[in-house]
Amino acid sequence: MVWKTFGRENCSLEATASIIGDRQTLLVLRESFLRVRRFGEFQRNTGLARNILADRLQALVGNGILERREYQDRPQRFEYRLTQKGLDLYPILLGLMEWGAKYETGKEGTLVTLRHKACGAVGSPQLACPGCGEPVTASDMEALPGRGAVLKTA
Amino acid sequence: MVWKTFGRENCSLEATASIIGDRQTLLVLRESFLRVRRFGEFQRNTGLARNILADRLQALVGNGILERREYQDRPQRFEYRLTQKGLDLYPILLGLMEWGAKYETGKEGTLVTLRHKACGAVGSPQLACPGCGEPVTASDMEALPGRGAVLKTA
């Protein structure tokens, strides 16, 4: 098992998990993808306490995932929009939604149905090989040590 | 904004986030996808404290994501393997890895390189439309209320 011999320094999965790997942050991001932008709506739709929500929004802004913009000046009010960096979290959010629908809440009654704007197909995007374009799952892919993999010293 | 008028009951994303939405659980799952199976190796590779790791493993077994199997009986020892339900978390783990490599740790030095076993292509699976097969990102997809979406009562 080759992975025994490699360290886990500079792991990109861990980096992401440290930034968005908590339930509250994921709920805030769900709302952002549903185009929710204002504090009160985030609060209503997530059910988070004000202080928790404020903390998560601030962290997401600090990490460049949300952008905070003033939309009113008397009194001063802000809204929160996904940046490109935030929009690129889409595959993760989609994955969470799909897996939950398959195993926990039931496929039949999903909150969201997705449609491809370009071709009009209704259904969720699937993973495909970047080479041949065939659909892939975990067992179709092999994980090899990348250039950043560092051999463990004994 | 249509989503203002719908509740968030029975959200499949929230269901998944409640099960795997914490950093420690995600690190355990990373190891499982790298074929780590034994307690000591999980501990070494994640750096988690014994009690935290034991708790996360137990929860993953309880949720049917990992299966606990005896591999030695004197003294009794167990290993933890991904079930099909666990293997189906692959798109999420892949998404976490990809996003982190793009924005946090740098694409050049990734720990893992993926290869499609069937065609040999090296590279990460991408999201594609289930209808036309074209690659898609967040902005290519539209989120419509699904059959489980419940209108809010005022």
Q: For residue B2, what pLDDT band results from cuts at 50, 70 and 90?
A: low
Q: Does residue B70 lie within any of the structural domains? A: yes
pLDDT at B3 over 90: no
Among A24, A37, A79, A99, pick the best mutation site for testing chain B contact (most B Cβ within 10 A). A99
Q: How far apart are CA A27 and CA A59, in angstroms?
A: 14
Q: How much of chain A exceeds pLDDT 90, in percent?
A: 82
* Each residue's pLDDT tens digit, B102-140: 999 987 778 889 999 999 999 999 999 999 999 999 999
Which residues form the domain of B81?
Answer: 2-107
Q: Does residue A74 lie within any of the structural domains? A: yes
Q: Does residue A134 lie within any of the structural domains? A: no
* Each residue's pLDDT tens digit, A89-136: 999 999 999 999 999 998 777 888 999 999 999 999 999 999 999 999
Q: How much of chain B exceeds pLDDT 70, in percent?
A: 97
Distance from the Cα of B30 to chain A's closest Cα (Å) equals 8
pTM listed for this prediction: 0.94
Q: Does residue A9 lie within any of the structural domains? A: yes
Establish if B138 touches chain A: CB-CB under 8 angstroms: yes
Ranges A36-50, A97-111, B32-46, B54-68: which has the least confidence: A97-111
Q: How far apart are CA A139 and CA B87, in angstroms?
A: 8
Establish if B54 touches chain A: CB-CB under 8 angstroms: no
Q: Does residue B120 lie within any of the structural domains? A: no
Establish if B93 touches chain A: CB-CB under 8 angstroms: yes
Q: Does residue A142 lie within any of the structural domains? A: no
Distance from the Cα of A9 to chain B's closest Cα (Å) equals 8
pLDDT at B52 over 80: yes
> Do residues B26 and B96 make contact, with C-beta atoms less than 8 angstroms apart?
yes
Distance from the Cα of A128 to chain B's closest Cα (Å) equals 5
> Do residues A120 and B88 make contact, with C-beta atoms less than 8 angstroms apart?
no
Total number of domains constituting chain B? 1
CATH number for the domain harbouring residue B11: 1.10.10.10
Q: For residue A1, what pLDDT band results from cuts at 50, 70 and 90?
A: low
Shortest CA distance from B10: residue in chain A: A105
Q: How far apart are CA A110 and CA B146, in angstroms?
A: 5
